[in-house]
Amino acid sequence: MNEPSFQRSDCRLCLSKSLALALPMLPTPLADAFVTQDKAAEKQPLFPLDLYLCEDCGHVQLNEVVKPEVLYKNYLYETSSSAGLVKHFETFAADTARRLDVSASFKVVDIGSNDGSLALAFKNLGAKVLGVEPGERVAQKARERGIETTHDFFSLEVATQISSTFGQADLITAMNVFAHVDDLSGMAEGIARLLSSKGLFVFEVSYLPDIFRNFLFDTIYHEHLSYHSIRPLADFFKRHGLELIEVERLPTKGGSFRGTVQKQGGKWPLSAHVRGWIAGEEASGWHQVERYHAFGQEIANRGDRFREMLIPYRRIAGYGASHTTTTLLYQWDLGRHLGKLFDDNPAKQGLLSPGFHLKVDSSDEIYQEKVDAIVLLAWQFQDAIVARHTKFLNQGGVFLIPLPEPGRISGC
pTM of the model: 0.92
**Can you give the pLDDT at residue 344?**
92
Q: Is the dihedral of CA 177, 178, 179, 185 positive or negative?
A: positive
CA–CA separation, 297 and 293 (whole Å): 7
The answer to whether 79-284 and 309-410 have equal CATH topology is yes
pLDDT above 80 (res 1): no
Query: Which contiguous run of DSSP H or E holds residue 185?
Result: helix 184-194
Write the burial class of residue 220 (CB in 10 Å: 0-12 exposed, 13-18 middle, 19+ buried).
buried
Contact (CB, 8 A) for 260 and 200: yes
Contact (CB, 8 A) for 225 and 62: yes
- Give residue 366's Cα distance to chain centre: 28
Q: Letter for the amino acid at 191?
A: I
Question: Any idea which architecture 79-284 has in CATH?
Answer: 3-Layer(aba) Sandwich (3.40)
Which DSSP category does 127 fall into? -
Beta bridge partners of residue 23, listed in sequence order: 51
Which DSSP category does 145 fall into? T
Q: Letter for the amino acid at 332?
A: W
The residue extents of the domains of the chain are 79-284, 309-410
CA–CA separation, 139 and 133 (whole Å): 6
Give the Cβ contact number of residue 412 at 10 Å.
Answer: 6
**Can you give the pLDDT at residue 20?**
98
**Can you give the pLDDT at residue 102?**
86
Which of 405, 173, 177, 153 is closest to 299 using CA atoms? 405
Give per-residue burial for 308-320: e unless 16+ CB within 10 Å, then b: ebeeebeebbbbb
DSSP 51-79: EEEETTT--EEESEEE-HHHHHTT----G
pLDDT above 90 (res 341): yes
Q: Is the dihedral of CA 321, 322, 327, 328 positive or negative?
A: negative
Instruction: Give the tens place of pLDDT for each residue, 45-93.
Output: 999 999 999 999 999 999 999 998 888 766 667 787 676 888 999 999 9
pLDDT above 90 (res 2): no
Superfamily grouping for domain 309-410: NAD(P)-binding Rossmann-like Domain (3.40.50.720)
Instruction: Give the tens place of pLDDT for each residue, 241-291.
Output: 999 999 999 988 888 999 999 999 999 999 998 999 999 999 999 999 999
pLDDT above 80 (res 374): yes
